[in-house]
Amino acid sequence: MQITATGLSKRFAREWIFRDLTHTFEPATATAILGPNGAGKSTLLNTLSGQILPTQGAVQYAEAGRAVAVEDVPQRLAYAAPYLELIEELTLTELIRFHTRFKPLRPGVSAGQLITLMYLEKSRHKLIRDFSSGMKQRLKLALALYADAPLLLLDEPTTNLDRTGVAWYQEHAAATLAGRTVLVSSNVPEEYDFCTEQLLITDFGAQAAR
Ligand SMILES: Nc1ncnc2c1ncn2[C@@H]1O[C@H](COP(=O)(O)OP(=O)(O)OP(=O)(O)O)[C@@H](O)[C@H]1O
């Protein structure tokens, strides 16, 4: 999927978060969105994916040269972020069944295989509320990485992961990138090493405006 931002600006109350951002995110490329804490990386991801409205400017989407309406973006979007919650009252098996009704896994990946590749076989029937923070993060990432969705957004993907978890993320990100438009919001190089493009949010005017 191609995403074209034109003159994109976002303001909360009197504070401009970014201003006049014009950029094309090309299909099948991975872009790191970089900037210090509070610079607006998550806000930009949410604006680019159509989940919050820009104050000014526009975002357009296209797939294979055809325009995609903003209301059709969610079905093409997989998103993992610290602020997106899992349903704590479900077991792992129940959660995967529920989630994949709306966001199917890529062809050839079953729920059982997803559990195996997360190394969570022993936790199949455990409630999500009883998962450790690292297990929850691995689950969020696996559901996004292995979703059958051409647009993948990863916000601070190694949050709560230990060294093994980071290596796991890198392996499975590499395995699932091909052909997708990937945006990674990060400050940690090991999260976005695979990105061929970088966008520094502080280049887009907001600092000067604060
Ligand atoms: N809904 C909102 N209402 C008002 N202000 C908001 C809202 N969401 C974010 N902000 C503000 O926008 C700014 C950017 O926040 P954002 O979470 O996008 O930054 P970030 O770069 O992702 O930060 P971090 O690296 O700490 O995750 C912050 O000053 C934040 O307080």
pLDDT digits (tens, 9 = 90+) for 50-90: 999 999 999 999 999 999 999 999 999 999 999 999 999 99
Ligand 1 neighbourhood includes 39 CB (under 6 angstroms): yes
Q: Quote the pLDDT of residue 208.
A: 44
Residue 36: CATH number of its domain? 3.40.50.300
Which residue range is the domain that position 152 belongs to?
Answer: 2-209
Name the pairing type of β-strands 2-12 and 56-63: antiparallel
Ligand 1 neighbourhood includes 158 CB (under 6 angstroms): no
Residue 35 CA: nearest ligand 1 atom is: 21
Residue nearest to atom 18 of ligand 1 (CA): 40
Domain total of the chain: 1
- Distance (Å, rounded) from C-alpha 73 to C-alpha 181? 13
Residue 99 CB coordination number (10 Å): 19
ipTM: 0.96
Q: Quote the pLDDT of residue 206.
A: 57
The DSSP annotation for 6-74 comes to EEEEEEETTEEEEEEEEEEE-TT-EEEEE--TTSSHHHHHHHHTTSS--SEEEEEEEETTEEE-GGGSG
Output b/e per residue, 163-201; b: 16+ Cβ within 10 A.
eebeebbbebbeebbeebbbbbbbeeeebbeebeeebeb
Residue 187 CA: nearest ligand 1 atom is: 25
Chain mean pLDDT for the chain? 95
- Distance (Å, rounded) from C-alpha 160 to C-alpha 136? 9
Position with higher pLDDT, 207 vs 35: 35
Length of the chain: 210
Ligand 1 neighbourhood includes 150 CB (under 6 angstroms): no
Nearest to 207 by CA among 6, 13, 18, 44: 18
Residue nearest to atom 16 of ligand 1 (CA): 40
On the question of pLDDT at 201 being above 90, the answer is yes
Ligand 1 neighbourhood includes 38 CB (under 6 angstroms): yes
Residue nearest to atom 8 of ligand 1 (CA): 43
Residue 13 CA: nearest ligand 1 atom is: 4
Q: Which residues pair with 34 in a beta bridge?
A: 186, 200
Longest dimension (CA), the chain: 52
Q: Quote the pLDDT of residue 207.
A: 54
Are the C-beta atoms of residues 73 and 61 closer than 8 Å to each other? yes
State the pTM of this model.
Answer: 0.94
**Which residues have a Cβ under 8 Å from the Cβ of 132 and sit 6 or more positions away?**
none
Q: How far apart are the first and last CA of the chain?
A: 33
